[in-house]
Amino acid sequence: MAYESRAPELLDAPDIAHVLKANRLVLARLMAVRLVIIVLLVAVPVVLSRVTESNSIFLTLPIVAGVFVFIGTVYRAIYGIRVTQCARVLRDYPLEFHPRVIKKRERRTQYGDVFEVKVTTRGQHGAPLMLAVNAAGRRRWPEGVEDGAWLAGDLPFGGVLVEPGSNAMLFLKPADWDKTARKREEAGPERTARAQRAKLNSRTTYAVMMRGRMSSTSP
């Protein structure tokens, strides 16, 4: 792939404003689709009931389904969408190109797909395993990330990966927060203060979506 063969210093970093705009648009479309589904599930049975003057229990089933879709949408919005959190990270950290991102495993949760990844850097070893979620709520892995991506953040604390082709964002946190505690303690006051400004200095506000055993291994 082209990104793998070119020197990082020769690559142009993505425009942060454009990246955030693209992800907010993806999020808006996702929420709009879910809203349309909810409205149809609730409105159609009501209209049919009035037109046919029927009180059949079967007409209430789509309404119940619509309520569950609404609850699931709220949960995903609260726990699984991290565009705002990524915006804070991109505000405080510059983007740096990493030539290889390895996806180890992934698992599906009600809040979104969680990926276990390792971000490698030329000449450095011991990169921590990270958990990643798509910031805009999409469930799929962004194609092309394995061939290089832009990283903003500080891996012992967390960060953001931006795929250069699609501008998809992945929010990152260490897979084992306690195991990386020593690296955070040794980070120094400047790095710690920056992580605090970006709100990366804790486990994630809603850590529930980051928990659990990875269930499937990628090829």
pLDDT at position 50 is: 81
Task: Identify the CA nearest to 161 among candidates 68, 85, 98.
Answer: 98
pLDDT at position 219 is: 36
Side-chain half-sphere of 3: how many Cα atoms within 13 Å?
A: 18
Encode the chain in three state secondary structure: CHHHHCCHHHCCCCCHHHHHHHHHHHHHHHHHHHHHHHHHHHHHHHHHHHHHCCCCHHHHHHHHHHHHHHHHHHHHHHHHCCHHHHHHHHHHCCCEEECEEEEEEEEEECCEEEEEEEEECCCCCCCCEEEEEECCCCCCCCCCHHHCEEEEEECCCEEEEECCCCCCEEEEEECCCCCCHHHHHCCCHHHHHHHHHCCCCCCCCCHHHHCCCCCEECC
pLDDT at 110 over 80: no
**3-40: pLDDT as tens digits:** 444 455 557 788 899 999 988 888 888 888 888 999 99
Under the phi-then-psi rule, with left for phi > 0, alpha for psi from -120 to 50, and beta for the rest, what region is 212?
Answer: left
**129-185: pLDDT as tens digits:** 899 988 887 778 888 888 889 999 999 999 999 988 888 899 999 988 888 899 999
User: Quick check: 150 and 97 in contact, CB under 8 A?
Assistant: yes
**191-204: pLDDT as tens digits:** 999 999 998 887 76
pLDDT at position 54 is: 78
pLDDT at position 156 is: 92
Question: Average per-residue pLDDT in the chain?
Answer: 81
Q: Considering the entire predicted model, what is its pTM?
A: 0.78
pLDDT at 2 over 50: no
> How far is CA 94 from each of CA 108, 151, 186, rounded to the nearest angstrom?
30, 8, 21
Q: Which of 76-80, 119-123, 152-156 has the highest mean pLDDT?
A: 152-156
* CA–CA distance, 201 with 205 (Å, rounded to integer): 10
Q: What burial class does residue 88 get, using C-beta atoms within 10 Å of its C-beta: 0-12 exposed, 13-18 middle, 19+ buried?
A: middle
pLDDT at position 9 is: 52
* CA–CA distance, 154 with 132 (Å, rounded to integer): 14
Question: Which amino acid is present at 98?
Answer: H
pLDDT mean over 84-99: 91
